[in-house]
Structure 1
Amino acid sequence: MQTNRPGLALDFSLYLDAARFGAAAMVVVAHLLMLRLIDGPVAAFVPDLGREAVIVFFVLSGFVIKYSVEQKHASPRDYVVARCARIYSVALPVVTLAFVLVALVLTFSDVAVTTGYQVAKAYIYFPFHMLFAGEFWNLAETPPWLLPYWSLGYEVWYYALFGIAYYLSGARRLVLLAAVLLLVGFKLWMLLPVWLSGVWLYEWSKSHAVPPRWASAGWLLSLAALCVFKLVDADIYLRAYGSAIWPFPGLRLISADRYLADYAVCALVLINFACARSMSFAWLRKVKRPVRALAGHTFTLYLVHNLVLMAWKAFYPHNPANPGDLALLLFAVGVATYVLGFVTERRKGAFERLFRGLSERASRLVVPAKAGTHT
């Protein structure tokens, strides 16, 4: 979408980066509440927006993926390499760390770990998690101490579905789409519209725009509507209602049991992003470098924080009423995210080279070099 307003494209890019980091921070807060690491009276005033943050990630992911393949003119190989590098640059080191850490805990302490059976059979569960199969059909498995990993069981397979739909055609596309949809199961079908809404928003924004005089009002209204949505417990009601009307008792909703609330939040996120696209966020330009830096650690923060929280809760005598303990815990999360960033997101280029080399080797195996001409 063309615009004559200077700085608007930069503003929107910075806004999306800020939204990405803000969503990750909301997930951290949600897990602080879930693990009761924040005092009860204080916790009553702290919003639990963890699930809503995941919906932000899904919409943003669809939007960015469509932008990336269109603006960068990525080939199918480029797409696969970029997606693998993005995911495995964080997932591989963090899941490895989780298995090692929990193995040490089980060996040298008496701390109970409910997912200890995965460490005992790491030869099965580690590759299982590297395939992001934890949300297939009736499954509900996340790596030890990595609860946020569940969303990758959705998002990674949405990448695969998008790549098939975008790069292939004809019968091959239909067959592969059907095969992948059959493989992943009904839970991923239910939240696929949320991810695809981000793709739709990108397409819509190329030829449409919210009039600037309405954009600010719409942006504020979307945030206000989300606040009301949470204050009246509409998400809780919709979760219960969605489970009550679910007609397939043999198919467990588990991580998809909030699907009705997810659709409602998705609509608010779409309104918010569409309006933000027409707004000026000049103040974000003044903090461009820290915003970019924080956004560059978002994926690591999203996964690593739960390892820190679980270890902290297991070994440190945390006092939820002590602000000093909470500040020290958040500092530990920040340090862990920063340090691990050196072997995760900051090493994405190395992973890209690795996957590009693997893809080239695979191509040579599938399509051998043409033999010399014989006369």
Structure 2
Amino acid sequence: MNRAFSAYLDLVRFIAAMLVVLDHLVAFRIVTPAQAAFFPEWGREAVVMFFVLSGFVIAYATESRQQSFGQYAVSRAARIYSVALPLLLLAFLGAYALQGVLAEPLKEGYQLQKFYLYIPYHSLFLGELWTHSETPLWLIPYWSLGYEVWYYLLFGVLFFMRGRRRMLCAATVLLVMGYKLWLLLPVWYAGVLLWRGRERLRLAPAAARAGMLLSVVLLCAYKFWHGDVWLRTLGHAWWPFASLPLGSAERYPGDYLVGLLVLLNFHCALHARMAMPQWASRAARVLAYYTFPLYLVHGLVISCWLALRPAAAGGVEPVSVCLAVLLATWLAGSLADPLRAAMEAGGRRLCAWLASAGGGLRTLQEK
């Protein structure tokens, strides 16, 4: 992957995170209705961008490195948990400490009462399996991790395992995931297929740049003419299982269309021969580093702010909220790097110990 294209993906990742933040500023009325008219409500489309991008990057990184399944699992777990776990614990601790002074009782108060169940539950990303629809208190965007983490696991099984064991483990993971994750799996896996088929349909640079522009124009037209609303209604009408709620997957037809447009954009960007100064590439890499902390922590800040100061819901303090989000993002990002390194080191030692223990057990069995 060349430097300019890698920087482009970094910028897309950061822009997608910002779109989610702006969408939530509108949805939770942090900004006034007059201000909201200038804010794009593209939160769902941004999550689809993340899904396609995630599948693409995972396929690239896994095929470019000599890894075992254990190394892959340790790397992915450290990447996720170094940000998600501290914020999950902070959300529960913060809500518990502040519940006595909150303006209104927490609607997720039942999670606090049974924190010993819900913290492990959310730590294992079980909130979107089958008919479950549980998001941790004060962590609005956490639902998407309930999809992405399971897609990581499925990809690892399919990539690293072979033969009957591979099929059995993949079938088990799919069975655990449930229908909502099945519905959006093609969106995520489209990124994997894009990486693997990147050389099969080559484009001239001029055509590739035109394709990039066309994908953006089509996506804007889709939102401007409310294609997302129409397809959401159509998706409900098409869904044949009334007893199985769609929940967070209810926009699946629109997600497929947006996923195709994102796929077109990325494929064209691969062949567009973009140029980017080195300083811009470095800046994009820094922004991308803070993308995941920004994506998760802004929900914690907004929810906490509204719980303590309901007047903010009238749009009186958007600047203060945004500054709080920026500060929290920087703190979460600063903590994530050393924590990730420690988790990876601990995970590698655990894998080495398990490998040596397994080898010793086989030796004993042979004797």
TM-score by length of 2: 0.94
**Cα gap change, 1:373 to 1:197, in 2 (>3 Å):** closer
In structure 2, C-alpha distance between the alignment counterparts of 1:193 and 1:36, rounded to whole Å: 33
Q: Does structure 2 conserve the Cα–Cα contact (< 8 Å) formed by 1:21 and 1:298?
A: yes
In structure 1, C-alpha distance between the alignment counterparts of 2:332 and 2:366, rounded to whole Å: 55
1:272-294 residue CA offsets vs partner (Å, 9 max, x unmatched): 11111122443453322221111
- Pairwise CA distance, 1:112: 2.0
Q: Which runs of 5+ in 2 are unaligned?
A: none
**Could you say what secondary structure the match of 2:130 adopts?**
coil
**Cα gap change, 1:374 to 1:43, in 2 (>3 Å):** closer
In structure 2, C-alpha distance between the alignment counterparts of 1:47 and 1:287, rounded to whole Å: 25
**Cα gap change, 1:158 to 1:319, in 2 (>3 Å):** closer
Counterpart check, 1:157 vs 2:150? yes
**Cα gap change, 1:233 to 1:364, in 2 (>3 Å):** same
Larger mean Cα displacement after TM superposition, 149-158 or 203-212 = 203-212
Q: Which residue of 1 aligns with 2:312?
A: 318
1:257-278 residue CA offsets vs partner (Å, 9 max, x unmatched): 0000000000000011111112
**Could you say what secondary structure the match of 2:360 adopts?**
coil
Q: Output aligned runs, 1:264-303, within 5 Å.
A: 264-283=257-276, 285-303=278-296
1:19-55 residue CA offsets vs partner (Å, 9 max, x unmatched): 0111111110111111011111221232111000110
Counterpart check, 1:354 vs 2:335? no
Counterpart check, 1:45 vs 2:38? yes
Letter matched to residue 218 of structure 1: G
Q: Which residue of 1 aligns with 2:218?
A: 225
Give the alignment's Cα RMSD to 1 decimal.
2.0
Q: Which residue of 2 aligns with 1:111?
A: 104
In structure 2, C-alpha distance between the alignment counterparts of 1:23 and 1:320, rounded to whole Å: 25
Q: Does structure 2 conserve the Cα–Cα contact (< 8 Å) formed by 1:93 and 1:343?
A: no
**Counterpart pick for 1:171 among 164, 167, 183:** 164
Q: Does structure 1 conserve the Cα–Cα contact (< 8 Å) formed by 2:79 and 2:340?
A: yes
Counterpart check, 1:330 vs 2:322? yes
In structure 1, C-alpha distance between the alignment counterparts of 2:154 and 2:313, rounded to whole Å: 45
Letter matched to residue 349 of structure 2: G
In structure 2, C-alpha distance between the alignment counterparts of 1:123 and 1:42, rounded to whole Å: 41
Larger mean Cα displacement after TM superposition, 239-248 or 35-44 = 35-44
Q: Does structure 1 conserve the Cα–Cα contact (< 8 Å) formed by 2:7 and 2:281?
A: yes
Q: Does structure 2 conserve the Cα–Cα contact (< 8 Å) formed by 1:218 and 1:272?
A: yes
Larger mean Cα displacement after TM superposition, 335-344 or 357-366 = 357-366
**Cα gap change, 1:74 to 1:108, in 2 (>3 Å):** same
- Pairwise CA distance, 1:116: 1.2
**Cα gap change, 1:32 to 1:346, in 2 (>3 Å):** farther
- Pairwise CA distance, 1:147: 1.6
Larger mean Cα displacement after TM superposition, 100-109 or 255-264 = 100-109
- Pairwise CA distance, 1:332: 1.1
Counterpart check, 1:14 vs 2:14? no
**Counterpart pick for 1:257 among 250, 255, 265:** 250
Q: Which runs of 5+ in 1 are unaligned?
A: 1-7
- Pairwise CA distance, 1:371: 5.3
In structure 2, C-alpha distance between the alignment counterparts of 1:373 and 1:315, rounded to whole Å: 62
In structure 2, C-alpha distance between the alignment counterparts of 1:283 and 1:364, rounded to whole Å: 47
Letter matched to residue 312 of structure 2: H
Q: Does structure 1 conserve the Cα–Cα contact (< 8 Å) formed by 2:103 and 2:307?
A: no
- Pairwise CA distance, 1:249: 0.6
In structure 1, C-alpha distance between the alignment counterparts of 2:113 and 2:312, rounded to whole Å: 29
Q: Does structure 1 conserve the Cα–Cα contact (< 8 Å) formed by 2:28 and 2:313?
A: no
**Cα gap change, 1:370 to 1:197, in 2 (>3 Å):** closer
Counterpart check, 1:75 vs 2:68? yes
In structure 2, C-alpha distance between the alignment counterparts of 1:33 and 1:335, rounded to whole Å: 20
Letter matched to residue 249 of structure 2: A
Q: Output aligned runs, 1:90-109, within 5 Å.
A: 90-109=83-102
**Cα gap change, 1:81 to 1:110, in 2 (>3 Å):** same
Q: Does structure 2 conserve the Cα–Cα contact (< 8 Å) formed by 1:105 and 1:111?
A: no
**Could you say what secondary structure the match of 1:306 adopts?**
helix
**Cα gap change, 1:178 to 1:231, in 2 (>3 Å):** same
- Pairwise CA distance, 1:331: 1.3
In structure 1, C-alpha distance between the alignment counterparts of 2:366 and 2:122, rounded to whole Å: 49
In structure 2, C-alpha distance between the alignment counterparts of 1:319 and 1:372, rounded to whole Å: 66
1:86-137 residue CA offsets vs partner (Å, 9 max, x unmatched): 1111111110111111111223434321111111101111111111110010
Calculate percent identity across the aligned residue pairs: 44
1:145-165 residue CA offsets vs partner (Å, 9 max, x unmatched): 112010000000001111111
**Counterpart pick for 2:239 among 239, 243, 246:** 246
Q: Which residue of 1 aligns with 2:230?
A: 237
Larger mean Cα displacement after TM superposition, 200-209 or 213-222 = 200-209
In structure 2, C-alpha distance between the alignment counterparts of 1:86 and 1:114, rounded to whole Å: 30
TM-score by length of 1: 0.93
**Cα gap change, 1:211 to 1:315, in 2 (>3 Å):** same
**Counterpart pick for 2:80 among 50, 75, 87:** 87
